Structure 1
Amino acid sequence: MIKIHQGNSLKLEPSDCNIVIDVIRAFTVAHYAFLNGAKRILLVPTTDEAFSLKRKHPNFVLAGEEHGIGIQGFDFDNSPKRISKERLDNLTIVQKTTNGVQATLNSLNTKHLLVTGYSNAKSTASFVKKVIKGRSSTINIIASHPTGDDDLACAEYIKALILEQNIPANIEIEKRIKQSHVCEKFYDPTNLLFNKADIALCSREHPSNFVMKLVQDSEIPTIERFAL
């Protein structure tokens, strides 16, 4: 059974698998961070916790946003375009975001917890099909933005891929992402806080040979690469 939910503050029943989606932009950032060599990503709910970890571990790298805007004192904002240009070999990233991270921290009550944007959606669906077997399995797909059609489009795409039924064309998904109200500020030339180049990466598939999976026994919820 596969259910799609929307929002970042849901409290779901125990499941076999939860997939948390943040297309614009947290888990597109995470995907490109891993592509560029990051070792792991720690998820924290507050900036205070992020800064505390940085004080204890000066080599940690802070990335994220509040209300979409980069956080003063963080090493990176929430831009996949920017992080795609960085070498992050073997680094630990601490990530704090409004929707994706928060939704993930509320989705820990499961056997398998994965995160993704659209860029690695196909690989994520393939992993779930391989690992989760049986009609009685419960899979929740969480579109973390409470009102964004970008995450919802990606959720519907992943569900169709897992079920191998009525799979929408990529051009349809990409159109929904780009036309989501979440993108409006990125296309506003007067708003210099948001880079429209981020949307190009968020709306482009870049399937990888790994998925982004939470380490269930970690003291701090931690995303690591798991090979397909």
Structure 2
Amino acid sequence: MDAHFLGIPEIPELAETPSVAVVVDVMRAYTVAAWVFAQGAEKIVLAESLDDALALKTAHPDWMALKDGPPAPGFDMVNSPGMLRSADLRGRTVVQKTTAGTVGALAVKEASLVLCAGFVVAEATARLLRARQSDRVTFVVTGEDGRADEDLACAQYIARRATEPVTDPTEFLHRAAKSRAATELAEGVRQGVHPDDVELCLELDRFPFAMTAEPEGSLMVLRPYAVPPRPDNAPV
């Protein structure tokens, strides 16, 4: 598999639309998205802006809206996995708008396959890449214009798992734990944070599903995708 790693600002410079794109946001958009599905949500609509998120909720009063930072009028939740663990989202649609994660997915929405990932769905994401026999994969490192070490570490880990039968996650998780984002979350620099957020973002393979984003009408919609487990004796 030919893996390429780039930041959101580099996407418009690509000569052609990626065939397969894996959008990585560990802290915290796609850790949160996985928890949203684990709590029973049917789908996540990725919003272009905060105003769009509120407009979608107004048009669909039964939908719920989620954003980065502190609580705000009109939004039901904030972008914190720790705060979502007790939420009952069974059958709900959640509109998500974050600083980097949702932006990254929308930037590659023309790709044939868009996967959104963090460590919590790393193995399922790698299995799906193997199942699709993806020769060339573009990993979008969303944080810090492509320099966020937690996102790059996760992207590199998934790329390695997609091609190797055994991969030690220790180095990759250590890099993420020492990243700027982890430090800011732990020290309370960012708002809308639960004390368990960093730990939850570093839970490797917590969930058995991957997450695929596809256009549905005018919206980009994220859904969980069940990936069959790989038999122990199956080739990579």
The TM-score with structure 1 as length reference comes to 0.90
Over residues 78-117 of structure 1, what are the superposed CA-to-partner deviations in whole Å (9 max), with x where a residue is unaligned? Answer: 0011112211101000000010000110011211111011
Query: Shift of residue 164 of structure 1?
Result: 1.2
What secondary structure sits across from 2:79 in the alignment? coil
2:219 pairs with 1:220: yes
Query: Shift of residue 190 of structure 1?
Result: 7.8
Q: Which residue of 2 aligns with 1:7?
A: 8
Query: Shift of residue 189 of structure 1?
Result: 5.7
Over residues 140-184 of structure 1, what are the superposed CA-to-partner deviations in whole Å (9 max), with x where a residue is unaligned? Answer: 0111102310000001101111121783x2222221111001122
Q: 1:8 to 1:28 in 2, by over 3 A?
A: farther
**What is the distance in 2 between the residues matched to 1:196 and 1:185?**
12
What secondary structure sits across from 1:58 in the alignment? coil
**What is the distance in 2 between the residues matched to 1:190 and 1:144?**
19
The TM-score with structure 2 as length reference comes to 0.87
Q: Which residue of 1 aligns with 2:111?
A: 110
Match of 1:41 among 19, 44, 54: 44
What secondary structure sits across from 2:120 in the alignment? coil
Query: Does the aligned pair in 2 maintain the 1:9–1:103 contact within 8 Å?
Result: no
**What is the distance in 2 between the residues matched to 1:130 and 1:193?**
37
Over residues 167-217 of structure 1, what are the superposed CA-to-partner deviations in whole Å (9 max), with x where a residue is unaligned? Answer: 3x2222221111001122222268774333100000111343321101244
What are the residue-to-residue correspondences of 1:48-67 with 2, within 5 Å? 48-65=51-68
Query: Does the aligned pair in 1 maintain the 2:117–2:125 contact within 8 Å?
Result: yes
**What is the distance in 1 between the residues matched to 2:188 and 2:60?**
38
Q: Which residue of 1 aligns with 2:141?
A: 143
**What is the distance in 2 between the residues matched to 1:6 and 1:227?**
28
**What is the distance in 1 between the residues matched to 2:72 and 2:4?**
34
Match of 2:26 among 6, 23, 26: 23
Q: Which residue of 2 aligns with 1:76?
A: 77
Over residues 11-59 of structure 1, what are the superposed CA-to-partner deviations in whole Å (9 max), with x where a residue is unaligned? Answer: 2422221000000000000001111111000001111111111111111
Over residues 59-86 of structure 1, what are the superposed CA-to-partner deviations in whole Å (9 max), with x where a residue is unaligned? Answer: 1000121xx4444431001001111221
Query: Shift of residue 224 of structure 1?
Result: 1.0
**What is the distance in 1 between the residues matched to 2:195 and 2:9?**
24
What are the residue-to-residue correspondences of 1:206-217 with 2, within 5 Å? 206-217=205-216
Q: Which residue of 2 aligns with 1:159?
A: 159
Query: Does the aligned pair in 2 maintain the 1:118–1:205 contact within 8 Å?
Result: yes
What secondary structure sits across from 1:27 in the alignment? helix
Query: Does the aligned pair in 2 maintain the 1:17–1:132 contact within 8 Å?
Result: no
**What is the distance in 1 between the residues matched to 2:103 and 2:54?**
17
Kindly, what percent of the aligned residue pairs are identical? 27
What secondary structure sits across from 1:95 in the alignment? strand
Name the stretch that deviates more: 187-196 or 213-222. 187-196
**What is the distance in 2 between the residues matched to 1:111 and 1:190?**
37
